[in-house]
Amino acid sequence: MIPIREDVDLQPYNTFDISEPARYFVTLTSEDELRELLSHPVYRDNPVLILGGGSNVLFTQPFAGLVVHVALRGIRVEHETEDEVWITAAAGENWHNLVTYCVESNYGGIENLSLIPGTVGAAPIQNIGAYGVELKDVLDQVEGVDAATGLKRSYTNAECEFGYRESIFKRELKGKFFISSITLRLTKKNHVLHTGYGAIEDTLKQLQIAHPTIRSVSEAVIRIRSSKLPNPKQLGNAGSFFKNPEVQESTYLERKNSYPGMPGYKTENQRVKIPAAWLIEQCGWKGKRMGNVGVHEQQALVLVNFGGAKGTDVLQLARDIQASVKAKFGIDLQPEVNII
């Protein structure tokens, strides 16, 4: 019988370092354990929260149900041709470890996603992205188990209904589908490098790299992220707390008329993405501390727990930031972090 623990402190299981108890807690290491869990009365009779690396969650209260910690492991080559390779990784694998494996194997496509915290299983839920690349660009399929039937099924890239930090797993299938693995379609040669976003080109120049490879792009991204983002093991955080807002191009031009320095990046459907960090910084939040919580001094998108903070403290800070950005720019900031 799969062991289900009671009254477990979730502090070791979230990168915000927030202490809140879970009424029930179970760790899954295989699909067989998952199927066994689906018929367990604790699973059937309680709210369920699926937890991977805990890098995109903020606990603001005790969780009165069952926390399912996904810890399935394994990375394998599923299929390959002369030009491409299909890599399958289990949901409990550390995402950056997967990136490292691919870079060392000279498999191209996810090098820009280096050092993103969290697990492989969480990646498609959020459609993780960084420096001009999103998971949807390379994902072939997502496999898992239907929570209602216990049957295994897969979702193609199109069926995942990816959007900006969005997917079907975050909406219609939330809590209804357990992701057990994902398969990526990567290049073995003639890699398409994405170096034009953010500070990658400047960093490559600093490293005196004139002809970048997937390895050097990964190293540049790691250097950039390490300089801006705090290590969760040293300072509690969940990375970027807010999504970059998208507005109509006409709205952006109107705001830019008032604030000429406002950056923006065109997306689809005549919309413009505005860096949330810039908006937050303009409102004076960067580096600001309020008790045990604050905004990181190097990256305004990152809210931090200096130690001993409650999730409600972080949430109040986030709401204050949202209110000030709304008052100054008339733009709504939406959390990227899941608030429980």
258 is catalytic: no
**Of 55, 111, 114, 165, which is the active-site residue?**
165
Q: How far apart are CA 102 and CA 86, in angstroms?
A: 11
**Integer angstrom CA distances of residue 151 from 36, 92, 146, 148:** 12, 20, 5, 8
- The b/e string for 88-118 (b: 16+ C-beta within 10 A; e otherwise) is bbbbbbbbbebbbebbeeebbbbbbbbbbbb
240 assigned to active site: yes
| Residue the block writes with tokens 């040669």 | 189
Alpha-carbon distance of 46 to 64, in angstroms, equals 8
Instruction: Show the DSSP H helices in the chain as ranges.
Output: 31-38, 41-44, 95-104, 123-126, 200-206, 214-228, 249-258, 276-282, 311-329
CA atoms within 13 A on the CB side of 1: 7
Catalytic, out of 31, 143, 246, 336: 336
User: Residues 262, 255: contact at Cβ < 8 Å?
Assistant: yes
Listed in order, strand segments (DSSP E) in 162-318 are: 177-187, 236-240, 246-248, 265-266, 271-273, 289-290, 293-295, 302-305
State how far the Cα of 287 lies from the Cα of 72, in Å rounded to an integer. 38
Q: Which of 218, 240, 246, 255 is catalytic?
A: 240
CA atoms within a 13 Å half-sphere pointing along the CA-CB vector of 167: 27
**Would you call 223 a catalytic residue per the annotation?**
no
- Active-site residues, by number, are 165, 240, 336
